Homo-oligomer: A and B are copies of this chain.
Amino acid sequence: MRILVTNCNTTVAMTREIAAGARAAASAGTVIVPLTPAWGPESAEGWLDSYLSAAAVLDTLRVHDAAAPEPYHAVVMAGFGEHGREGVRELLDVPVVDITEAAAHLACLLGRRYGVITTLERSRPLIEDSLRTAGVAANCAAVVATGLGVLELDEGPATTAAFLDAARRARDAGAEVLVLGCAGMTGLKELRDHVATELGLPVVDGVAAAVQLAESVVRLGLRTSRSGSYAALRDKRRVWGATG
């Protein structure tokens, strides 16, 4: 099985980390095909970035799809809380799984309430809205920001302290499971293990969760419904980016 995993921003180093996280989570026989959008923001932090990212990811998939040398069986969208998911479902015939919803789906199986640890406070509303639209917000106890930008994440002491603090606030709000609320956190393995041990809570990574869910949907032969919301696109004139 081949799964296309799209970063939502143009930072190639992050695409690499996401691909590594996806590969670590994939079953034997699954090939992860990473994709960096051809344009867009270098990191998605807030509404404008998220809308820019959505169009860039759609455009890149559209072009890639036309030119793809080999077929792929599913798409994983690796932008936590970012827009675009529903548009990709209209665009492509293969199943589409977004890391935001994926993490929440698995978290719901592990505890009665989950909490999301994310980057900046300005990402919180996007994540809340994305979970709600995906139908998995009901058991979300809290989305808590660490105050760190997407490209500032590392495994140093400041990040660790910010994570532990955010995780404790999520737990105090009722979270029994933690969700890593940024694609850029998929590579912070030591940090994640540290938080899990310190708080005694399972920690779900969205990239890993989405790869597993994408595999599941493919294995069961399921596809996106073409009746209703995700009906096939209408033919029309669309221009993707200003000309010259």
Contact = CB atoms under 8 A, between A and B. Distances in A.
Nearest to A105: B105
A59 B88 CA distance: 21
Interface in A36-77: 38-43, 45-52, 54-56, 58-60, 63
Given A42-B236, A243-B39, A136 B133 contact: no
Nearest to A57: B51
Interface in A204-236: 204-205, 208-209, 212-213, 215-217, 219-220, 222-231, 233-234, 236
A194 interface: no
Contact of A112 (B58, B97, B202, B230): B230
Interface residues of A, number: 97
Given A51-B58, A204-B222, A242-B59, A111 B230 contact: yes
Contacts of A59: 241-242
Contacts of A201: 225, 227
Interface of A: 10, 25, 27, 38-43, 45-52, 54-56, 58-60, 63, 83-84, 86-91, 95-97, 101, 105-106, 108-113, 121-122, 125, 129, 132-139, 149, 171, 174, 176-177, 199-202, 204-205, 208-209, 212-213, 215-217, 219-220, 222-231, 233-234, 236-244
Given A111-B228, A132-B132, 5 more contacts: A45-B236, A51-B87, A55-B55, A105-B105, A241-B242
